[in-house]
Amino acid sequence: MTMAVNLSPLTTFYPVNGIKIGTVCAQIKQTQHDDLTLFVIAENSTCAAVFTRNAFCAAPVIIARQHLFASAPRALLINSGNANAGTGQQGLQNARTCCDTVAKLLNCASTQVLPFSTGVIGQSLPVDKICGVVATALATANTENWENAAQAIMTTDTIPKAVSIQKIIADELITITGIAKGSGMIKPDMATMLSFIATDVQISQSLLQICLERAVNVSFNRITVDSDTSTNDACVLVATGKSGLHIDSVDHPAFADFCQAVTQVCTQLAQAIIRDGEGATKFITITVEQGSSEQECIDVAYTIAHSPLVKTAFFASDANWGRILAAVGRAPVDNLVIEAIKINLDDVCIVEQGGVAASYTEEQGRRIMQQNEITIRVNLGRGTQHATVWTCDFSYDYVKINAEYRT
């Protein structure tokens, strides 16, 4: 089994004042590891979130979206091992029942609990197992439990994914800590499979939502493992207001710096998902520049990233540059001038003037393709816009993992 590409577990977690986390094994799909996580959020916190746009979105996505706009959340309840997706009205009721159980323990409204699930689609959520251990999760909740939470939300991930930073903004020390899970069924249309981020900044829900959407659009919305958008994608950003930094408008001098810090955390988490893509052996950055619009740059980048022929060539370390050229040519972009396009693998120009670069040699291509981190750079020569997408290769293990996922 392959392991994550140049990714190690985080060793330093900065607690976020106002956030406590408890984890427990509810034995949802296995009995060896914690699979239920409870975030307890301080009163007067604000919360922003983005969710999958998959039409068959999971029951917890529907309920979490409803609850988010009903009242300020006091808890996040996350289970792995069961997606509670494709489960109809019973799935919705099961998600509500779990929220009710947490709400009674916290003495808050059920709408102040946001549920999240990840795992197998189409199976009934084991409500009794979950509700039976929620009190234990609450009893173990503390500010230091981020590492355990990162592990408890994993499914096919080989390594827990977390980022934790502290920065001085406007003379105030702030903390941002986040975790994510995701390895396959990754082509987000809002965020990643699941990500939970918290900060101690004081900021309104509307401003926090603006910040999260900006960050997601250039991070979680720019990754793909296999072009499959999950039914359960969600990304949550909680702000407890426990630091000395208070941001009250988009014009506040600290707002841009805060957004940049959130984007940094989201980008590192998004890249961690690609580094741990199911069966991944290569981490691939695709940058498309000099496009006439950002969207056409994104379209070209994703066409390359989604090509099974390109991805399998990278797995084989085969400098089959024709597959990249073909992907660029079939991207949904009108009136490409192929003579103006240049394609590089890292520092090696492979395509220019409509064909193989005069300076290119097969030896150069093999040298780049043997690396485990590679950049494809496409210059469209038709404008000033640019975009970057991150992806990985396709290996034998990807097929094996997904062929055996339910067994």
| Residues acting as catalytic residues | 192
- SS3 at position 64: helix
Q: Which two tokens stand for residue 177?
A: 């800590």
Q: Which two tokens stand for residue 261?
A: 């810090």
What single-letter DSSP state applies at residue 223? Answer: B
Nearest to 265 by CA among 201, 193, 208, 199: 199
CA gap 32, 251 in Å, rounded: 49
**How crowded is residue 3: how many other Cβ atoms within 10 Å of its Cβ?**
12
- SS3 at position 186: strand
Contact indicator for 174, 245 with CB cutoff of 8 Å: yes
Burial of 86 (0-12, 13-18, 19+ CB in 10 A): middle
b/e map of 204-243 (b: 16 or more CB within 10 Å)? beebbbbbbbbbbeebbbbbbbbeebbbbbbbbbbbbbbb
Put residue 285 in one of left, alpha, beta given phi > 0 → left and psi -120 to 50 → alpha: beta
- How are beta strands 161-169 and 172-181 bridged, if at all? antiparallel
Q: Which two tokens stand for residue 199?
A: 């900060």
Nearest to 143 by CA among 25, 36, 47, 13: 13
Q: What are phi and psi of 79, to 5 degrees?
A: -120, 145
Question: What's the length of the chain?
Answer: 407
CA gap 262, 2 in Å, rounded: 30
CA gap 179, 197 in Å, rounded: 6
Contact indicator for 261, 163 with CB cutoff of 8 Å: no
